[in-house]
Each structure stands twice: as C-alpha cells, then as structure tokens.
Amino acid sequence: METWRRVIADSITTPEELAECLDIGPGPLAPLVRRYPLRITRRYLGLIEKPGDPIWRQCVPDPLELLDDQFPDPLDEERLSPVPGLIHRYPDRAVWLVSNECAVYCRFCMRKRRVGCPLAGGGEGFWDDVLHYIKETSAIRDVILSGGDPLLLGDEHLESILAGLRAIPHVEIIRIGTRTPVTLPERITARLCRMLKRYHPLYVNTHFNHPREITPEAIKACARLADAGIPLGNQTVLLAGVNDDPAVMTHLMQQLLAIRVRPYYIHQMDLVQGTGHFRTNVETGLEIIGALRGHTSGMATPYYVIDAPGGKGKIPLLPDAVEKWGDTWLLRSFRGEIVEYRDR
C-alpha cells in the first residue's frame, strides 16, 4: 500500500478515537459526526497546541455546527450543474467535482453538504457525461478539478481524467484544487509529480489558512510540485479564531511566497449551513487587505473576495471601492449587476 493510503487508513474518524487523543468526552461529538463526517490525519492533529487553537478549530467538530440555520448550498451549485459533478457558472470555466473525499474534513468547508458522502452519480458513465459536456461546450477553456480533494484519487484514476481533458482541443488550462500539501503531504510523491508534468499547462491551488500549517513536510510537498513546473497558488478562507488578524494573515502570505506559493484569494466565508461560528464581518477582511496593501510585497497580497449568494460569482473587494448602506453592502458582480450582501 502506498504511504499516503496508509496515512488515510490510520486517520481519526470516530468520536471515540478523537476523544481519546484530545482527552475530552466523546458524548457531544457523536451527533456532530453523524451529521458531518470526521476525518483528521494524525500529523495534522499533532499540530494542535491547545484546545480551541487555530488548528483545533479547523478540524475538531464543534456543537455550534448543529445550531446554524444557514443555507446548504448558498452558491447555487446544484442549479448551475448541467450534468452531475460539473458546475458551469462562468462561460469559459467549469468546475469538475471528481471526489468527495478529503484527508481532513475541515469544519468550515463550503461543500459541507457533500464531503465524506458517496459521490453522486459516480462511475464510468458519470465521467463520460462530464467529458461529453465539456467536449460539446467549446467556450470552456479552463477546467478546475475540485471536490472534496482530487488528490484523494489514485494516480491512475487521476491520470485518466487528465488524459480525457487533454484530448479536448479547446481545454487550454487544467487546475487542481487540493489541500493535501497541508493535510496529507505524503500524497505529493515523485511519481505523482512525474505524471502531472505530462499534462501542462497545469496549475495547482492549495489551501493554507494559518502559518502553523507551513510545516517542513508541507514545504517539501510544495517544492516537489513547483520543481515539476507547476505554478502554485493559495486560497485562504477568512476564519474567526483562526486567521482573522492582520498580523497572522500578513505572516501567512509572506511565508507562502517564500515557499513558492503565490497568495491568490482570501475568501469571505460563504453562508454555508453549519459554519456560522467561523464567519467574520466584511470589515475584518477589508482591514486585513488594508494592512497588506502597501505594507508587504504586492505578490503577497491576494484578492479578498465574496462569492455572491445565488451563483452570481466572485466579487473582489478593496477597502476604498465598496459601499455600505445600513447593514447592507452593495457589490458589483462580474456581470455588472449590483448585489446586496449582508453579514448574517
């Protein structure tokens, strides 16, 4: 068995195991784990220094998850899905959800409704339908493999997807979104990198949320990908109690650049059911961007974006270019519509 598969097999998935590791009672964890699955690799769990710290908050279930009444699918991904597993929101880009599995089930996940569940419509016919749709839609020039985590697929499976996409002439760019460099760095093997190299132009966007996630193993994983000629970007989610602090975020962005990972987005938390305790207000994000701009390299300054509810797309926010009326932000979508947005 490959090392990374052994790490997954050895990860923590039950309330009893987690309770034992953290020296807490398993009782409150059980209903949470029945609703939203649990998985934490032992390496990631080992980054916790004390209860409630930024690593703990990201991976340990919190009873507040069950008290939150927001939307299961605020970005309307199901409506924007022409075939199962594909989201086609912007004309020239499509997101292919190739896996529902992840090395760690992040408690703040925007796809909390589906990660850890069986892949809807999985199987060969499903991949064929997606590839057929992309082939027939010549406007799609950029395909993003997402999930779950695409790198939880084995090399052969992943390669068959990449080869299928590369056989479509109008697909110019392939992107992979993965948190494995952070949560399962063992997955970034030399063999995987040799395979990925055959499918350029290929980009990887990873997902570091806190400077303590930049471990020696994560650095090595990113270096392997970068040495395979793969440009690396990072998407961070702005999370209360994790990184909602200009000093923490500045440190994270500077350290990412130092390991050849270009900060790409800071996401305002989506209005996803079960994640309200992570949401900051928009002013916090604007304060962080204000602290980054002009105080550190422009290359270390990502876009701060809100993914507008109702499938209206990502909207970048700058401190001096947004308006607030009462408790409502007025934002302009990529289609030019004015979108009203409220912190809930």
Instruction: Provide the annotated active-site residues.
Output: 89-90, 93, 102, 106, 109, 111, 270, 307, 314
Does 312 help bind ligand SF4 (rule: CB under 6 A)? Answer: no
- Stated as kind and residue range, the H or E segment containing 30 is helix 29-35
Peptide bond just before 294 cis, omega within 30 deg: no
CA distance 187 to 181: 8
Question: Are 98 and 153 contacting, i.e. CB atoms less than 8 angstroms apart?
Answer: yes
Single out the segment in contact with ligand SF4 by CB under 6 A; choices: 104-112, 245-253, 314-322, 328-336.
104-112
In the chain, helix, strand, coil percent, each to 5? 35, 20, 45
Residue identified by tokens 């090399």 is 155
Does 111 help bind ligand SF4 (rule: CB under 6 A)? Answer: yes
CA distance 303 to 112: 24
From 15, 61, 85, 148, residue interacting with ligand SF4 (rule: CB under 6 A)? 148
From 44, 105, 265, 304, residue interacting with ligand SF4 (rule: CB under 6 A)? 105
Does 115 help bind ligand SF4 (rule: CB under 6 A)? Answer: yes
Single out the segment in contact with ligand SF4 by CB under 6 A; choices: 24-32, 79-87, 106-114, 243-251.
106-114
The closest of 173, 162, 171, 164 to 138, measured between CA atoms, is: 171
Which amino acid, one-letter code, is at 156? Answer: E
From 61, 85, 147, 263, residue interacting with ligand SF4 (rule: CB under 6 A)? 147
Does 274 help bind ligand SF4 (rule: CB under 6 A)? Answer: no
**Interaction residues for ligand SF4, span 150-189 (CB under 6 A):** 179
Does 102 help bind ligand SF4 (rule: CB under 6 A)? Answer: yes
Counted residue by residue, the chain has a size of: 344
Question: For residues 230 and 239, which CB has a smaller minimum distance to ligand SF4 in the complex?
Answer: 239
Q: Which residues bind ligand SF4 (CB under 6 A)?
A: 102, 105-106, 109, 111, 115, 147-149, 179, 207
